């Protein structure tokens, strides 16, 4: 029996519902959908990093990374990233930011699916991740 | 070699295409996207639990649970839930129903991604799940 | 320590960003979102198989299969397929093509989620896959 552990980075707000920012069980780590919220300030509602795709993409990647690291993983362990955008016109810019962000990756980069969905107002990007450790 | 097993709860209709409601291989169990259909009646087409988000959310969660249980898992084993809604205005109500439903969960709750997509007419919510058994 | 390996079938173009068409680590293989691009021609931009749902669905399935096979897996190992369509009116035709394609599957068919999202212009379908090898 392997225990399932909730992962809550210090930078994160408490989820607004009964879910975890990430969970790990054995060598599998799942990161919940992250958005561009700045590190949590106790007693304050979540604040988005800014109105631009650049600000939100970089903050969202930072938030995914926080969950990975709090669960003992790194980007090198990530198998799949799901990127949700709200506008097909954002693809090229997101890709450029993404490439810069992962320029130093040593291991094989993760697989990825990018699709265009609806998100809560003001949010331009959401990313979740599946990692396999070990 | 571990066999892959299709999971078909007694409550479920035969899938309308060549896919399974769930599959298990080793300790990994994947639940296909579930919607708010009532338990199947032989010879009848699937019937949605009702027009409201409340009816469909509770039935969808019951259907995910049926697949988990038919595969030997429980909510405690679930790593990730993907919740697909059709309207951002449904978020708060879905979250409240979700919190009530999972109020007694002992283990860490699953990670979650909620996005807004299109679904077949009349359906307001779809949920799929990845579980790792222990 | 199990290495993570990028999977790049000979038929595939280099990804337009720092991601892999598929990755394998241990017995888990993740196929990135595939679309209906024809086999890559060096020096040429990707070309979609055709404007119809039929052409794109069959090519997308062929591309998922190429990644699976390049990673040492087959359709029999697939646990989950995520099918992204752009129009609910495409569901019946996609399902019929899908059923024909998988008619000879021996093992349990994969679980599946089908949702309606936005895709880059001209693309009607995207599919990703999670496989667990035996």
Given a cut of 80, is residue A14 above it in pLDDT? Answer: no
C-alpha torsion angle, residues C63, C66, C67, C73 (rounded to 10): 130
Tell which of B91, B96, B113 to mutate to test the A interface (max A CBs under 10 Å). Answer: B113
Residues A53-108: tens digit of each pLDDT: 999 999 999 999 999 999 999 999 999 999 999 999 999 999 999 999 999 998 88
Q: How far is residue A20 CA from its own chain's centroid?
A: 13
Question: Are B32 and C77 inside 8 Å of each other by CB?
Answer: no
Q: Which residue of C has its CA nearest to B128?
A: C113
Nearest-angstrom CA–CA distance, C2 and A83: 26
Residues A23-45: tens digit of each pLDDT: 999 999 999 999 999 998 988 88
Contact C56, C93 (CB under 8 A): no
Is the ipTM higher than 0.90? The answer is yes
Please tell me if residue B130 touches chain A, with a CB cutoff of 8 Å. yes
- % chain B with pLDDT above 70: 99
Q: Which residues of A touch C86 (CB under 8 A)?
A: none
Looking at residue C36, what is its pLDDT? 97
Domain count, chain A: 1
Nearest-angstrom CA–CA distance, B106 and B131: 16
- What are the residue ranges in chain C where pLDDT is below 70? 1
CB within 8 Å of chain C, chain B residues 50-109: 82, 84
Tell which of A61, A84, A108, A131 to mutate to test the C interface (max C CBs under 10 Å). Answer: A108
Residues B65-111: tens digit of each pLDDT: 999 999 999 999 999 999 999 999 999 999 999 999 999 998 889 99
The minimal CB distance from C20 to the residues A88, A109, A130 is found for: A109
pLDDT bucket at B14, cuts 50 / 70 / 90: confident
Give the 3-state secondary structure of residue A61.
Answer: helix
Looking at residue C84, what is its pLDDT? 98
Nearest-angstrom CA–CA distance, B37 and B42: 14
Q: Is residue A9 part of a domain?
A: yes
Looking at residue B2, what is its pLDDT? 81
Looking at residue B1, what is its pLDDT? 61
Average pLDDT (B56-64) is: 98
Looking at residue C50, what is its pLDDT? 98
As beta bridge partners, residue B25 has B4, B28
**Residue C64: which CATH number?**
3.30.1330.40
Q: Is residue A127 part of a domain?
A: yes
Residues 6+ apart with CB under 8 A from B130: A30, B28, B29, B30, B31, B78, B79, B80, C80
Residues in chain C: 134
Contact C130, C30 (CB under 8 A): yes
Give the 3-state secondary structure of residue C122.
Answer: coil
For chain A, the average pLDDT equals 94
* Structural domain for A127, as ranges: 4-87+107-132
- % chain A with pLDDT above 90: 84
> How close A107 gets to chain C, by Cα (Å)?
7
Q: Is residue A126 part of a domain?
A: yes
Residue A118 DSSP symbol? B
Given a cut of 70, is residue A1 above it in pLDDT? Answer: no
Q: Is residue A16 part of a domain?
A: yes
Contact B117, A118 (CB under 8 A): yes
């Amino acid at each position: 029996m392997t225990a399932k552990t909730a992962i809550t980075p210090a930078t994160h707000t408490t989820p607004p519902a009964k879910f975890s920012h990430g969970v790990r069980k054995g060598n599998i780590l799942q990161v919940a959908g992250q958005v561009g919220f700045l590190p949590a300030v106790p007693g304050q509602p979540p604040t988005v990093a800014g109105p631009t795709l650049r600000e939100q993409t970089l903050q969202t990647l930072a938030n995914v990374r926080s969950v990975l690291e709090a669960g003992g993983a790194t980007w090198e362990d990530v198998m799949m990233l799901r990127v949700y955008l709200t506008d097909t016109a954002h693809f090229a810019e997101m890709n450029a930011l993404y490439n810069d962000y992962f320029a130093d990756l040593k291991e094989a980069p993760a697989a990825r699916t990018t699709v265009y969905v609806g998100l809560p107002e003001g949010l331009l990007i959401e990313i979740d991740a599946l990692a396999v450790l070990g």
